[in-house]
Amino acid sequence: MTRPDSAVPGNAVPADSAARAVMSSGDVSRALRRIAHEILERNKGADDLVVLGIPTRGVALARRLVKVMEEVEGTSVPVGALDVTMHRDDLRRQPTRSPMHTDIPGAGIDDKVVVLVDDVLYSGRTVRAALDALSDLGRPRAVRLAVLVDRGHRDLPIRADHVGKNLPTSSSERVQVRLAEHDGDGDEVRIAGGEPR
């Protein structure tokens, strides 16, 4: 089953010959570098930051952001993964969804500034599930959201703090994020036409 905002968790995004590229590998790299600098600037450095990726592609993006931040700051930044599966509001419709791995850095999240990272922001429901999952793990001082692509069409009042690219789409289109870590070739963001839902 394909999510309209991204890919099937844990699987490679199939290449769609009819899809058009909207971000190249260089575009993705520059966007992540800019987001990393924005996060550091807003936080006034890397102190008390914890970066958590939402599986699947959000985890790879979180690791890349942290790598840039560590280059800039010369200090380590805790990074991990936050599974949202059991907090999703569509479990009744998709009961076969398998839980992913949650990996919280040893110092935890209490009184930290947590940056959630995902590949595509669409309805906002994944982020809402992430906030619920986070509340089970501790009490951060602040939670911020960084996404590679914001495609609009929100169902919930959720807004990203850091966005790689705002990408206006119709609800019948699909955004495909391909990352080397998951898809075996270079990075790319594509839009493919989809059937109206």
Helix (H, G, I), strand (E, B) or coil at 75: coil
Residue 24 belongs to some domain of the structure: no
Scan for tokens 């705002």, then name that residue. 166
pLDDT, tens digit (0-9, with 9 covering 90-100), for 82-140 = 999 888 776 666 655 667 789 999 999 999 999 999 999 999 999 999 999 999 999 99
Q: Structural domain of residue 103, as residue ranges?
A: 46-91+98-180
pLDDT number for residue 133: 95
Number of domains in the chain: 1
Cβ partners under 8 Å of residue 49, min gap 6: 39, 43, 69, 77, 78, 112, 113, 115
CATH assignment of the domain containing 110: 3.40.50.2020
Residue 189 belongs to some domain of the structure: no
Helix (H, G, I), strand (E, B) or coil at 78: coil
Residue 174 belongs to some domain of the structure: yes
Residue 129 belongs to some domain of the structure: yes
Residue 3 belongs to some domain of the structure: no
Residue 5 belongs to some domain of the structure: no
Q: How many residues does the chain have?
A: 197
Average pLDDT per block of 10 residues along the chain, 197 residues long: 38 64 97 98 97 96 98 97 86 66 94 98 95 96 98 95 95 95 92 67
Residue 35 belongs to some domain of the structure: no
Residue 8 belongs to some domain of the structure: no
pTM of the full structure: 0.87
Q: Where does 16-155 show beta strands of DSSP type E?
A: 20-23, 49-53, 79-81, 113-121, 142-150
pLDDT number for residue 18: 80
Helix (H, G, I), strand (E, B) or coil at 20: strand
